[in-house]
Amino acid sequence: MLYSTAAEWRAAANRKVLVFGMSGLGKTHLSGLLRGSGDWFHYSIDYRIGTRYLGEAIVDNAKAEAMKVPFLRDLLLSDSIYIASNITFENLSPVATWLGKPGDPDKGGLPMEEYVRRQEAFRQGEIAALRDTAFFADRAQALYGYEHFICDTGGSICEWVDADNPDDPLLRELADECLLVWIKGDDAHTEELIRRFDRAPKPMAYQPEFLSRVWSEYLTENKCVESDVNPDEFVRWTYAQALAHRQPRYQAMAKWGVTITPDQISALRNEADFTDLIAGCLPD
């Protein structure tokens, strides 16, 4: 690990951490708390994906929908209006909307072929954004003068690494740059995430093998074809399975760093509390 002991962590002039775990357990909340201290640079992987690696695709998708409306089409073709993505750390909806859900086009679904293409584009974008971590850590200090750095990852980071391989190139690169911090939820947190998702199902990125399996199982169990699939029902049906699929992958990644809980994050009041929390996870 980047910091071998609590004393080394406390004495570090430049603390760098990368937080990972299920979406909704506090990664962005923690990042915002530290950013608010004025000493921490917040690097959001999803924000980087949406502004750098999928920015044009997101805007083009919105333009394609607008071009279906004659009134907007005329304004776009005459350069009278323009369309832009208003993505922020707290509002990543443009990325999710572009990623979409598969199924019946009359219910907002995408053809599976297009859905798989977008999944692959997102995978490539996320890996590229993760590999930009060292660049932004250096930039934060050299250009802006931030003492500390937090990388706020997406929930799908565990899909693109093999944590059981000590030479996994992406994990090795990240662990050499930051202290990896797993935000580990318990069964109650998982149940709450499932309830929350059921109320408002959102697009997700899936490991290709997992997506292929659950899609085939869904069609078989429901005796339907692609065009019959209700997009929201499919992602609802898939969500709990996706969480179960990711849990052991997060667990394996945890060996590369330290583990904290959402309740511990909720109890934090300031940067000093976070420093103490991480110190308590490291050997004396």
Residue 235 maps to which CATH number? Answer: 3.40.50.300
Nearest-angstrom CA–CA distance, 122 and 45: 11
Is residue 279 in some structural domain?
no
Domain that holds residue 184: 6-273
Answer for the pair 175, 42: CB distance below 8 angstroms, yes or no: no
Predicted pLDDT of residue 215: 98
Predicted pLDDT of residue 242: 95
- CA nearest 118: which of 130, 110, 127, 128? 110
- At residue 85 the predicted structure's pLDDT band, cuts being 50, 70 and 90, is confident
Q: How far is CA 278 from CA 100, 119, 216, 259, in A?
A: 37, 34, 43, 9
Answer for the pair 126, 154: CB distance below 8 angstroms, yes or no: yes
Nearest-angstrom CA–CA distance, 54 and 90: 17
Contacts (Cβ under 8 Å, ≥6 apart) of 144: 41
Is residue 278 in some structural domain?
no
Structurally, the chain folds into a number of domains equal to 1
- At residue 200 the predicted structure's pLDDT band, cuts being 50, 70 and 90, is confident
Provide mean pLDDT across the span 208-217: 97
- At residue 88 the predicted structure's pLDDT band, cuts being 50, 70 and 90, is confident
pTM: 0.94
Provide mean pLDDT across the span 8-31: 96
Provide mean pLDDT across the span 186-205: 92
Q: First and final CA of the chain: distance in angstroms?
A: 14
Answer for the pair 203, 97: CB distance below 8 angstroms, yes or no: yes
Is residue 122 in some structural domain?
yes
Is residue 283 in some structural domain?
no
Is residue 77 in some structural domain?
yes
Is residue 266 in some structural domain?
yes
Is residue 282 in some structural domain?
no
Predicted pLDDT of residue 162: 97
Least-confidence region, from 6-10, 170-174, 195-199: 195-199
Predicted pLDDT of residue 115: 97
